[in-house]
């Protein structure tokens, strides 16, 4: 499935759009992490929750559920908030 990568995470992938496989959001993130080591850690905390500055959209619908079931035809968009002063 197609995964859109935000600019702050592109140093891991080198591209704005990548392909990944998996039947759940967590499985897709694991697949991405195998291909692009360190990417999942930037998105998921040590307690297994999506970090608060990350938003994940499945076909335009926001989700925080890493166990969300996915199909190969869905697209995932990752959005990362930027902060500063």
What is the SS3 string spanning the chain?
Answer: CEEECCHHHHHHHCCCEEECCCCEHHHHHHHHHHHCCCHHHHHECCCCCECCCEEEEECCEEECCCCCECCCCCEEEEEECCCCC
Does 21 map to a domain? yes
Residue 85 has pLDDT above 70, yes or no: no
Residue 14 has pLDDT above 90, yes or no: yes
The 10s digit of each residue's pLDDT in 38-78 is 999 999 999 999 999 999 999 999 999 999 999 989 999 99
Full-model pTM:
0.90
Q: What is the pLDDT of residue 72?
A: 87
Q: Where in the sequence is the domain holding 32, given as residue range(s)?
A: 2-80
Does 74 map to a domain? yes
| CATH number of the domain within which 56 lies | 3.10.20.30
* Domain count within the chain: 1
């Amino acid at each position: 499935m197609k995964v859109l990568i935000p600019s702050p995470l592109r140093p891991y992938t080198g591209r704005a759009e990548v392909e990944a496989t998996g039947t759940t959001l967590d499985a897709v993130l694991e697949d991405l992490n195998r291909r692009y080591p360190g990417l999942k850690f930037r998105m998921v905390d040590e307690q297994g929750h999506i970090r608060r500055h990350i938003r994940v959209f499945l076909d335009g619908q926001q989700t925080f559920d890493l166990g969300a079931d996915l199909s190969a035809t869905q697209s995932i968009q990752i959005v990362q908030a930027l902060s500063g002063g």
